[in-house]
């Protein structure tokens, strides 16, 4: 065969494939960085939300402790009844028990990705909150000392017992030595003065500073988010450019394949249908090579035509038509409405005979089974077709048979098995109009019934 000139498809597609592969690698890298930046953005937002929540919790805790403690200290007992006003103090204790401590909140904030300046500011505010908490305890223990010395307070009530339980849950504050000798009336006044303008000013500044910290955290998050957003935009641009280049490369490759390979092959197909020679000078190297090979094959066609032989249609062992003949029969178009019954047979114990007595005995068993089937299902005045379609499988097709005649055939077949000393499972399927149902469906139904019969025979053998 002559060597053909022309551009080989590999010359075009290998460089294109390498370029496309590199672009895909670039896409993967860009996608990775986009996902990473997106994840970082989400993490920044989550951390910002957590930090602001922490500060909000800290501010809420400080305000709640201030309000409940001030409410109690401003009115420690119900004057008309001399009963301890324990309700505000119970709220104070509940807040201490249910809310996170300032140290826990500070620890969470310190673990966040914030600037040192913001962390130091929050730490300073937490310390201020601690100072305010110390002031509250100071005032509460002044009231406690005043209650102990005040004889007008009814200490036998449930409210006083509840008050003592609440005080047990508040961190102990040791009063300064100069406050201990103050009369109980003075202790009430000293406790109230602790919540004077200086305390309120410090508490108000704390709230203001905490709001400033929240704003600083938000600005810090916005800057980080802006930087990550710019990164995402850059990688997205690279991603879209890479995709555009891939689409362009694919379009060019597709154009070459269609017009220099597919179109010539389509033309070749038409000429092959017309049994004409192909043009060996169009398209890529591969299409030219294909045309040359076909022309050489066409030249040798007549030389081999006479050497083809037909497939044998007869089974050598039994003399019956084989599976090829059966398939050929099934492919024959059904012209008229006909009564048809298909019988499917399977020889039992063939493997056992082959394994224990040799294949010669197995062949004898197959021959006996074939004789048994043909002697029972070859009936005069009917169109009879018997086939061996497998090693131990047979089929009989009876046309123009009446359904009421089938039981007699089965009875005769069982008797013949006894005479021939063989065991054969059988199943059949009948139709008054085979044109409507088709041979294949009849065969499937008969085959299933044959397997059911085979199981039944095996069960009977086991029982006996």
Picking from 267-276, 360-369, 415-424, which range would have the lowest pLDDT averaged per residue? Answer: 267-276
pLDDT bin (cut points 50, 70, 90) of residue 459 is confident
User: What's the confidence (pLDDT) of residue 310?
Assistant: 43
pLDDT bin (cut points 50, 70, 90) of residue 308 is very low
pLDDT bin (cut points 50, 70, 90) of residue 126 is confident
Picking from 168-172, 329-333, 357-361, 363-367, which range would have the lowest pLDDT averaged per residue? Answer: 329-333
Whether residue 309 has pLDDT greater than 50? no
pLDDT bin (cut points 50, 70, 90) of residue 173 is confident
List Cβ neighbours of 130 (8 Å cut-off, separation of 6 or more): 102
Which of 138-147, 413-422, 430-439 is most confident?
Answer: 413-422
pLDDT bin (cut points 50, 70, 90) of residue 158 is confident
Whether residue 181 has pLDDT greater than 60? yes
User: What's the confidence (pLDDT) of residue 451?
Assistant: 94
CA distance 216 to 115: 10
* Alpha helices (H) in 150-180, listed in sequence order: 158-168
Q: Are 91 and 146 in contact (CB under 8 A)?
A: no
Whether residue 343 has pLDDT greater than 70? yes
Instruction: Tell which residue, 25, 22, 168, has the closest CA to residue 89.
Output: 168
Letter string b/e over residues 235-271, b meaning 16 or more CB atoms within 10 A of that residue's CB = beeebeebeeebeebeeebeebeeebbeebeebbeee
CA distances from 123 to 115, 198, 256, 325, 368 (A): 12, 21, 70, 96, 103
Give the number of other Cβ atoms within 10 Å of residue 385's Cβ. 18
- Which comes out higher in pLDDT, residue 50 or 236? 236
For the full predicted model, state whether its pTM sits above 0.85: no
**Where along the chain do its domains lie?**
1-308, 323-463
List Cβ neighbours of 161 (8 Å cut-off, separation of 6 or more): none
Percentage of the chain modeled with pLDDT above 70: 94
The mean pLDDT value for 144-168 works out to 86
The secondary structure of residue 258, as a DSSP letter, is: I
Is domain 323-463 classified as CATH 3.40.250.10? no
Instruction: Tell which residue, 154, 152, 136, has the closest CA to residue 88.
Output: 136
> Over the chain, what is the mean pLDDT?
84
């Amino acid at each position: 065969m002559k060597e053909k000139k022309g551009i080989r498809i590999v010359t075009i597609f290998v460089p294109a494939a390498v370029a496309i592969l590199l672009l895909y690698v670039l896409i993967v890298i860009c996608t990775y960085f986009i996902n990473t930046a997106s994840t970082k953005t989400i993490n920044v937002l989550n951390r910002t939300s957590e930090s602001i929540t922490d500060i909000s919790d800290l501010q809420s805790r400080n305000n709640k402790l201030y309000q409940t403690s001030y409410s109690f200290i401003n009115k420690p007992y119900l004057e008309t009844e001399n009963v301890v006003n324990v309700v505000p103090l119970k709220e104070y204790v509940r807040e201490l028990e249910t809310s996170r401590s300032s140290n826990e909140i500070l620890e969470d904030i310190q673990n966040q990705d914030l600037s040192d300046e913001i962390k130091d500011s929050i730490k300073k505010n937490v310390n201020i909150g601690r100072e305010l908490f110390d002031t509250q305890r100071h005032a509460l223990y002044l009231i406690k000392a005043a209650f102990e010395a005040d004889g007008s307070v009814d200490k036998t009530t449930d409210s006083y017992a509840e008050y003592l339980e609440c005080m047990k849950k508040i961190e102990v504050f040791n009063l300064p030595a100069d406050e201990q000798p103050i009369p109980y009336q003075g202790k009430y006044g000293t406790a109230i003065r602790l919540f004077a303008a200086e305390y309120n000013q410090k508490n108000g500044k704390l709230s203001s500073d905490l709001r400033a910290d929240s704003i600083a955290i938000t600005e810090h998050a916005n800057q980080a988010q802006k930087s990550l957003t710019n990164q995402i935009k850059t990688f997205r641009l690279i991603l879209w450019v890479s995709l555009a280049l891939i689409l362009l490369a694919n379009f060019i490759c597709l154009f070459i394949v269609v017009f220099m390979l597919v179109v010539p092959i389509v033309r070749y197909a038409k000429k092959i249908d017309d049994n004409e020679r192909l043009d060996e000078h169009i398209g890529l190297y591969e299409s030219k090579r294909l045309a040359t090979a076909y022309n050489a094959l066409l030249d040798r066609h007549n030389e081999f035509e006479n050497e083809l032989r037909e497939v044998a249609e007869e089974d050598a062992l039994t003399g019956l038509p084989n599976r090829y003949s059966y398939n050929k029969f099934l492919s024959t178009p059904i012209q008229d409405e006909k009564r048809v019954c298909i019988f499917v047979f399977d020889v039992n114990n063939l493997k056992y005979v082959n394994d224990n007595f040799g294949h010669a005995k197995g062949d004898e068993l197959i021959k006996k089974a074939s004789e048994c089937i043909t002697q029972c299902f070859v009936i005069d005045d009917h169109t009879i077709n018997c086939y061996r379609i497998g090693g131990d499988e047979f089929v009989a097709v009876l046309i123009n048979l009446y359904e009421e005649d089938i039981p007699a055939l089965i009875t005769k077949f069982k008797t013949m098995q006894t005479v021939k000393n063989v065991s054969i499972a059988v199943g059949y399927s009948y139709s008054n109009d085979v044109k409507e149902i088709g041979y294949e469906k009849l065969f499937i139904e008969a085959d299933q019934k044959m397997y059911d019969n085979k199981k039944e025979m095996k069960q009977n053998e086991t029982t006996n």
